[in-house]
Structure 1
């Protein structure tokens, strides 16, 4: 199936950004599909508006303003805004994902179910607070991976869904990392402090070339320096899911092929080539590769492709930060699946 992501660009306040996204949603199928999803499954969570507001105001008040802008544009109750876009106290389905970092790059496969995928690649430069960032949007306000103006790059991998807690989920935590952190040390400190809803590993890398895997659950956080991450913990092993076969298989493949001097191009092909057995087509099992992304913290550039066996689109984030808009309006690709993206 042919799929696409819109490239959106915004410079301004968080409230105005939220309002603009609300206007965008009114013209797309994302909101319709999100609301349709709640008719077929009841949410297994409850979000207290005041409690959520307090959490946002502590860690990232700008995003609360963004939610207020969304609310004004969509004319919906805040309870519904938080349920659909707040990314606070939401259960996540099991997923895949693989990440490899080199001396000056991070390459990541995002594996999930296409119906959850917004189909929007966002550039945002706030004028009120927080760092400018780029990356694919998730649940509108969240980010599944990305890079900010300081070169800090981030991606996360699902671990397990047992015993969730009260807190933010991966999409929003990824966004908050990009919005508020300048270095890997900043990101590690944030991940130790922020409340986690689920169990995920966050891979962070900055222009120093250091990359860390931060293992997180609602109960504890572990930090290790590493350049490979799939879908199992190596510190918090007691928190692992029961079946680790595919996660270990992909990790072993990456270790075998990810030689110390591997180039970014070789790493991207390793992840994106459908015949190399790391790219996944298990879309119906919530573990199919939707995109492959690469980030270059020193150069402030990124590569991105939808689907497998693709030549990536190159984004010059550094040039965009100087005020020069990205010319690409739409990213196209193809998935070996009949499941449509949320924007289709």
Structure 2
């Protein structure tokens, strides 16, 4: 699997080139239920204006760079996209230097493989791309880091794809309290657990869903269920309860040192090779919000990236055999 790290201060030719490269595959996914199943441009832009007004000028700029087409603009709104599932584990190691660690378990054929560093709207943001301007994890220049896991519920409703919500948080928030307020009011189309850690060591996990109010918790661990397991077959297949218990033991009982705790994400039960089922671990990310740094890790390989001294580049990663 090939990864890229790209930087572009303002939306321009690099982002436009990425869109041209990725759009054919994203268009197939976005249209898999038919064009009529997705909201109109007017509905999508109106929802963005209502819930994330600060993002509208940036959205309009990106739509222009994408060619100004109707379907591309509707896709980029992230409003009521097709449903999609992931697995994932994430946790806060609250040592002297707080660290957020996460595994992203997903289908490698439906993944950007891209770390994007941007200076959009005067805010420096770095993170793992999804949908070309959404993020599945990231950090900003205020020292705010964020990550998501699927919440383990079948219900699909009216709201935004959560990667754009993560982008919105990093574009507009500096603290965990500010992020919690955003996560409490912006609607999501599916259930997700979003963990936030700021430079002052404050953290929360927001349990979001399309059919109920967001629950803001002090949970330091999130896997693929919320307060209770609701989708039993998914929970069994992804071992969400077992992974949660394993992480809680590492934090509460064993009190692993930082490096040992991080390395646990690179081994079972957290590390998955279930790629045939679409839930293999694509990477482990380590965020150090005070330092504005992130690392991508794979067994035997580490790629360090800094918001202050971001270096573009590429990495080829050999994924383990599917199990």
TM-score, normalization: structure 1? 0.83
Q: 1:101 to 1:62 in 2, by over 3 A?
A: same
Structure 1 unaligned segments of length 5 or more: list them.
321-325, 339-344
Which residue of the partner structure matches residue 8 of structure 2? 10
* 2:80 counterpart of 1:93: no
CA contact (8 A) 1:300 1:316 kept: yes
- CA change 1:221–1:311 in 2 (3 A) is same
Q: Structure 1, residues 113-152: CA drift from partner, whole Å, max 9, x if none?
A: 11220121000112x35x3210010011100001111111
Tell me which of 35, 52, 67 is aligned to 1:75: 67
For residues 113 and 161 of structure 1, the distance between their equivalents in structure 2, rounded to whole angstroms, comes to 19
Root mean square deviation, CA, Å: 2.3
Query: How many residues end up aligned between the 2 structures?
Result: 314
Residues 18/337 of structure 1: CA separation in 2 closer, same or farther (3 Å cut): farther
User: Compared with structure 1, are the counterparts of its residues 33 and 205 closer, same or farther at alpha carbon in structure 2 (3 Å cutoff)?
Assistant: same
Q: Secondary structure at the match of 2:217?
A: strand
Q: Secondary structure of the equivalent of 2:16?
A: helix
> How far off its partner does 1:206 sit?
0.6
Q: Could you say what secondary structure the match of 2:148 adopts?
A: strand
SS at match of 2:317: strand
1:251 is aligned to 2:244: yes
Where in structure 2 are the equivalents of 1:170-189 lying within 5 Å?
170-189=162-181
Deviations 1:238-288 (A, max 9, x none): x83223331011112222333574333222211023xx3211111232211
**Structure 1 residue 47: deviation in Å?**
1.4
Query: What is the TM-score when the length of structure 2 is the normalising length?
Result: 0.88
What does 1:253-268 correspond to in 2, within 5 Å? 253-259=246-252, 261-268=255-262
Q: What is aligned with 1:327?
A: 311
Per the TM alignment, residue 229 of structure 1 is displaced from its structure 2 partner at its CA by 0.8
Unaligned runs of 5+ in 2: none
Whether the 8 Å CA contact 1:102–1:262 is kept in 2: the answer is no
**Partner SS, residue 301 of structure 2:** coil
Deviations 1:298-327 (A, max 9, x none): 12111113xx4133211222x23xxxxx33
Distance 1:304 1:298, change over 3 A: same
The match for 2:216 among 223, 234, 253 is: 223
Matches within 5 A, 1:161-200: 161-200=153-192
Q: Give the secondary structure class of the aligned counterpart of 2:156.
A: coil
The residue aligned with 1:312 is 302
